[in-house]
Amino acid sequence: MTQKRNRTAFFYILPCLIVLGLFVYYPLIMNLVYSFQSFGMSDTTREFVGLANFKKLFSDEIILTSLKNNVLYAVISVIIQVGFGLVLAAVLEDRVFQKFSPFFRTTYFIPTLLSMTVVCLLFEFIYNPQMGLLNSFLELIGLDGLTNVWLGKSSIAMYAVIAVSQWQSTGYVTMLFIVAIQKIPRDLYEAAEMDGAGKIRQFFCITVPQVKQMFFVTMVITVVGAFTVFNEPYILTGGGPGTSTMTLALHMYQTGVVKNDMGYASTIALLIFVITAVLSSIQFLTIGGKEEEA
Partner 1 sequence: MKLKKYNVLAAAVLAAFALTACGGGSETASNEGAGSGAGGDQIEIDFFHRWPNDPKNAMFKELIARYEEENPNVKINMDCILNDQYKEKIRMIVSTDEVPDIFSSWSGTFAQEMIDSGNVMDLTSVFEEDPEWSDTIAEVSKGPFTFDGKLMAIPWSQDGKAFFYNKRIFEENNLEVPTTWEEFIDVLDKLKAAGYETPIAEGLKDQWAILHYLGTMNQRMVDPEVLAADYDPATGEFTDPAYVDVLEKWQQLTSYMGEVAVAIDHETARNTLFATEEAPIMYLQFAEISLMTDTVNFDYGYFNFPAFEEGKGDPNALTGAPEGFMISNKAEHPEECIKFLKWLVSPEGGAVQLTVEGGDLTCVNGALTEENALPAQIEALETIDAASQMAPWFDNACDASIYTVFGQGASAVATGDMTPEDAMADVQAAAADLRTKQ
With binding defined as CB under 8 A, does residue 245 bind partner 1? no
Counting contacts by CB under 8 A, is residue 254 touching partner 1? Answer: yes
Q: Which of 218, 230, 201 is nearest to 85 (CA)?
A: 218
Q: What minimum distance in Å lies between the beta carbon of 62 and partner 1? A: 8
Question: Among residues 111, 171, 233, 239, which is the contact residue for partner 1, using CB under 8 A?
Answer: 239
- Binders of partner 1 among residues 22 to 81 (CB under 8 A) are 38, 40-44, 52, 56, 61
Cα distance between residue 126 and residue 136, in whole Å = 9
In the complex, minimum distance from the CB of residue 72 to partner 1, in angstroms, rounded to a whole number:
17
The gap between the terminal CA atoms of the chain, to the nearest Å, is 37
How many residues at the interface with partner 1, by CB under 8 A?
41
Q: Per CB under 8 A, does 261 bind partner 1? A: yes
**Per CB under 8 A, which region of 182-190, 217-225, 238-246, 285-293 contacts partner 1?**
238-246
Q: 247-254 long-range contacts, Cβ below 8 Å, gap at least 24?
A: 247/66, 247/69, 247/70, 247/73, 248/63, 248/66, 248/67, 248/70, 248/272, 248/275, 250/66, 251/62, 251/63, 251/66
* Minimal distance, residue 270 CB to partner 1, in Å: 19
Contact 117/231 with Cβ under 8 angstroms?
yes
**Other C-beta atoms lying within 10 Å of the C-beta of residue 175:** 19
Hey, CA dihedral for 231, 235, 236, 238, is it positive or negative?
positive
Exactly one of 9, 18, 28, 146 binds partner 1 (CB under 8 A); that residue is 18
* Residue (82 or 236) nearer to partner 1, CB: 236
* Interaction residues for partner 1, span 137-196 (CB under 8 A): 149-154
Cα gap 256→39, rounded to integer Å: 9
The stretch among 10-18, 76-84, 170-178, 209-217 that binds partner 1 (CB under 8 A) is 10-18
* 174/82 Cα distance (integer angstroms): 8
Binding residues for partner 1, per CB under 8 A?
Answer: 3, 7, 10-11, 14-15, 18, 38, 40-44, 52, 56, 61, 127-131, 149-154, 237-244, 254, 257-261
